Amino acid sequence: MKKIAPSILSGNLLNLAAELELIKEAGADLIHIDIMDGIFVPNITAGWDIVSAIKSGTDIPLDVHLMIDKPERYIEEFVKSGADILTIHQEGCIHLHRAVEKIRELGASPGVAINPSTPISALDEILDYIDLVLIMSVNPGFSGQEFIYGSLFKIENMRKIIAKRELETLIEVDGGIKVLNIADVANSGANIIVSGSGIFKTDDYKKTIMEMKERI
């Protein structure tokens, strides 16, 4: 079954507890948390304390997306704070295999993300070791950007590679996804679909997520 992962930091930061309740009631399958460091991406969000706080406010699994340089420095903190899936960027990590193994040893599910300009072949050697590939469909850093349509070919090609290699790796797609284009993303082969402004900038999260689920 395909899953919807609302990107919680696109919600009302003044009242995260209420947002978590609303999003649960609306049918969220995972909570996506974007961690940005102002170096790997031009924006800064928060550290692992926000992950702990969110963990204490929900029983929905946490899907933590680290957009930080040298993410291996903080893997332990993020897993201990409650990340169920911990995704790091291929572009920000030199010893990717070591970092992925550490995520698994600590008890979380390892994911690796790639930017729009990174080819999926950059994942060839790591694919056997990870549970999830995150294909960015915007340049990471901000919510509310336009979906890059070339990402659909990357999703389709990744799906073919995973099938050919007989792996169970999940494909997650993140950036610019809304009710109107979610079917394209799902039909290309995504398993987990992230949406920030596509959910939180609508008036009725439940209606939006229901409409999304009808289309995937």
Nearer to Zn ion, 20 or 85 (CB): 85
User: Quick count: other Cβ atoms within 10 Å of Cβ 191?
Assistant: 18
- 136 token code pair: 């960015």
Segment near ligand DX5 (CB under 6 A); pick from 68-76, 99-107, 135-143, 157-165: 135-143
115 near ligand DX5, judged by CB under 6 A: no
Q: How far, in Å, are 10, 51, 101 from residue 75 at the CA level?
A: 23, 12, 11
Distance CA 38, CA 45 (A): 8
Residue 34 main-chain phi, psi, to 5 deg: -95, 115
Residue with the CB atom nearest Zn ion in the bound state:
65
87 near ligand DX5, judged by CB under 6 A: no
Could you confirm whether 34 is annotated as catalytic?
yes
Distance CA 30, CA 3 (A): 7
> Residue 138 binds which entry of ligand DX5, Zn ion, none, with Cβ cut-offs from 5 to 8 Å by kind?
ligand DX5
The CB-of-144 to ligand DX5 minimum distance in angstroms stands at: 5
Could you confirm whether 59 is annotated as catalytic?
no
Binding site residues, Zn ion, CB under 5 A: 34, 65, 174
176 near ligand DX5, judged by CB under 6 A: yes
The 178-207 contact track toward ligand DX5, x by CB under 6 A, reads: ----------------xxxxx---------
- Specify the 3-state DSSP secondary structure of 145: coil
DSSP state of 180: T
Nearer to Zn ion, 40 or 164 (CB): 40
Which one, of 116, 184, 126, 205, lies nearest residue 154 by Cα? 116
Which residues are part of the catalytic machinery?
34, 174
